[in-house]
């Protein structure tokens, strides 16, 4: 593998101008995540895709899946869109991922003008993979294969991969307003995470459980103000976020420091909270 494909989903629904702005923020956040992992990489974007070229694929992926706005990533091998080159590259890759008796399928998609269709790519690349693994008795199964090999052709380049690794989705961190999170429990940390996923820059007040959020924001800032009100007004935040829930309704009603307050966990069940906490601890 020599490149990581980075995809986004929600950003693609924005108008062209807003999308470009959000893409710029996302690229900056991707670079910050790689820097935190001390990974040297070349990050570029082109027509709705972001490419990360690095020789430390595994370390880079560990950072990229913690970047808000990323829908999924795939470690891939890049080659030209020449049919023979795609066949050769896919056949070589298949030897590392197909075991004896396993089934496979090829799914192809393309953008640009080419002397072949996506169906042609799937058929020809699939044939090359089958011939390269004849000694292993592999078989084609288009319905429920053990391994799916993807071929994405974009102009003069092609990317071959076998995995979609999900990211957190949402909007790029810092693309929305700034809020202060009162973090004194894991529930507070989860509430802060959910605002971060919606693009808010979250400043932490009270750091007992801030470590849960560190992988998700390489520039996480912990405020040293004496009170929550001082933290909000001193940082010029637009709101506060807390993990209080429905049983804390009396405390919620008593909170009034002059800015909107967000309680994203208020309608969640215990199981939903625990599942979310487990996902952000990874």
pLDDT 10s digits, 178-207: 999 989 889 999 999 999 999 999 999 986
Point out the least confidently predicted range of 7-11, 99-103, 172-176, 243-247: 243-247
pLDDT 10s digits, 64-77: 999 999 999 999 99
pLDDT, the chain, mean: 91
Domain ranges of the chain: 3-78, 82-155, 178-281
Please determine, looking at this structure, whether the domain spanning 82-155 carries the CATH number 2.130.10.10.
Answer: no
Please determine, looking at this structure, whether the domain spanning 178-281 carries the CATH number 3.10.25.10.
Answer: no
pLDDT 10s digits, 113-167: 999 999 999 999 999 999 999 999 999 999 999 999 999 999 999 999 999 999 9
Q: Which CATH number fits domain 3-78: 3.60.10.10, 3.30.70.1510, 3.90.870.30, 3.50.50.60?
A: 3.30.70.1510
What's the pLDDT at 252? Answer: 56
- Give the CA angle between residues 190, 11, 237 to the nearest 5°: 45
């Amino acid at each position: 593998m020599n490149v990581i494909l980075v995809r986004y989903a929600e950003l693609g629904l924005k108008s062209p101008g807003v999308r470009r702005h959000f893409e710029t923020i996302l690229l900056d956040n991707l670079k910050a995540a790689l820097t935190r992992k001390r990974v040297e990489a070349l990050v570029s974007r082109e027509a709705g895709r972001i490419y990360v070229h690095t020789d430390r694929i595994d370390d880079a992926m560990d950072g990229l899946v913690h970047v808000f706005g990323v829908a999924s990533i795939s470690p891939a091998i890049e080659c030209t869109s020449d049919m023979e080159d795609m066949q050769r590259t896919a056949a070589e890759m298949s030897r590392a991922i197909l075991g004896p008796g396993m089934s496979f399928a090829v799914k192809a998609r393309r953008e640009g003008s080419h002397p072949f269709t996506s169906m042609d790519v799937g058929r020809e690349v699939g044939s090359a993979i089958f011939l390269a693994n004849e000694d292993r008795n592999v078989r084609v199964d288009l319905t429920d294969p053990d391994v799916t090999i993807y071929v994405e052709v974009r102009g003069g380049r092609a990317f071959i991969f076998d995995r979609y690794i999900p990211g957190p989705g949402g909007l790029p961190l810092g693309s929305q307003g700034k809020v202060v999170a009162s973090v004194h429990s894991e529930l507070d940390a989860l509430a802060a995470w959910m605002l971060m996923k919606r693009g808010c820059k979250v400043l932490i007040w009270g750091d007992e459980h801030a470590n849960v959020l560190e992988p998700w924001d390489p520039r996480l800032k912990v405020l040293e103000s004496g009170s929550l009100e001082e933290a909000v007004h001193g940082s010029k935040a637009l709101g506060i976020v807390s993990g209080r829930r429905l049983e804390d309704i009396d405390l919620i009603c008593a909170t009034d420091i002059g800015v909107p307050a967000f309680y994203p966990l208020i309608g969640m069940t215990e199981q939903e909270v625990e599942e979310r906490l487990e996902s952000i601890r990874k």
